[in-house]
Amino acid sequence: MGKFITNQILGMKWLNTLIGNLLGTLGLDATSRIGGSIQFFLYDVIKITVLLCVLIYLISYIQSYFPPERSKKIMGRFHGIWANCIAALLGTVTPFCSCSSIPLFIGFTSAGLPLGVTFSFLISSPMVDLGSLVLLMSIFGAKVAILYVVLGLVIAVAGGTLIEKLHMENQVEEFIRRASAVDIASPTLTQKERLVYAKDQVAETFKKVFPYILIGVGIGAVIHNWIPESWVVAVLGSHNPFGVILATIIGIPMYADIFGTIPIAEALLGKGAQLGTVLAFMMGVTTLSLPSMIMLRKAVKPKLLGVFIAICAAGIIVVGYLFNLFQGIIL
């Protein structure tokens, strides 16, 4: 039953077979480079789009119960490492990319929440949202998906706790520290309003994300059908001890979310890249993308930004090597 859910419901393997048969009736051989590329592209675009819309609808409905004001009050009730844990967990039901998370991070910091707590939220929000759990299950299976989310939450809690211990509040830009937090009572939404909100979020997020899905799937199709397996193995395979570090560095300049990076990760894994190396690439893209770091620099000073990047990069690299070490057991 578990395999059926993973392969046929989440993974939609039936769709891949259907597309291959349809291409065959049109005279395209799915085993050829061109036919395989078209099949990979159509299958992943349709699959990810369907999962995207369903997940955003469900997550947005849940998110309607946790507006910024309520999230701030929830996090304010906890102290110490428990506050970091709650912030990391709240990050799983908020925006899908780091650029969307930064305005919330600024709002929480302005409201007077501890700096380490707000950074736990900032790390977890793009890295381990609920969408990543379901999408990873559709590609890599339940064990990989659950371990990815758990280790991502560990990075968020540990990173926020370390930043809190360093007492770097003076590294937040002055305009944020002086901002006065205004408590606005969250409106009580009716059931119908929550459903409308979820539908609107689907439309808004889809417009933002879909171009990156097309780009990510396009890159994945090229890797899957045109890049020699020996090249991928040489750079990201087990014979390169620096593959995890290289994948993390390559991911940083890119800008995408989990929906755009998974097709690339899927293609790399299929070509012989190690699991941990592929996941490190995904984490680097979603958490440390260059555009989001530029946005974050507007809110914090270079020293704190450097500490944040160093903590996240170190955590991602450690997770990558752990997945590589236990790949035989996990997959």
Q: pLDDT by residue (tens digit) across 164-191?
A: 999 988 898 887 767 654 444 556 788 8
For the stretch 227-260, pLDDT in tens is 888 888 888 888 889 999 999 888 876 666 667 7
pLDDT value, residue 302: 93
Percent of the chain with pLDDT over 90: 28
Q: Residue 97 above 80 pLDDT?
A: no
Contact 55, 206 (CB under 8 A): no
Indicate left, alpha or beta for 94 from its phi (over 0: left) and psi (-120 to 50: alpha).
beta
Cα(125)–Cα(99) distance, integer angstroms: 10
Contact 256, 305 (CB under 8 A): no
Q: Residue 280 above 60 pLDDT?
A: yes
Q: What is the overall mean pLDDT for the chain?
A: 84
Contact 262, 136 (CB under 8 A): yes
pLDDT value, residue 135: 77
pLDDT value, residue 51: 84
Q: Nearest 10 degrees: CA dihedral of 117, 123, 127, 129? A: 30
Closest CA to 240 of 248, 250, 232: 232
Q: In which residue are the tokens 């977890």 written?
A: 124
Non-local (6+) Cβ contacts of 285 within 8 A are 251, 252, 254, 255, 256, 260, 261
Q: Residue 308 above 60 pLDDT?
A: yes
* Range with lowest mean pLDDT among 78-82, 93-97, 274-278, 279-283: 93-97
Counting DSSP H helices and E strands in the chain, the numbers are 18, 0
pLDDT value, residue 98: 57
Phi, psi of 120 (to 5 degrees): -60, -40
At CA 203, angle to CA 17 and CA 216, rounded to 5?
50
Mean pLDDT across 74-97: 81
> For the chain, which residues make up each domain, given as ranges?
2-330
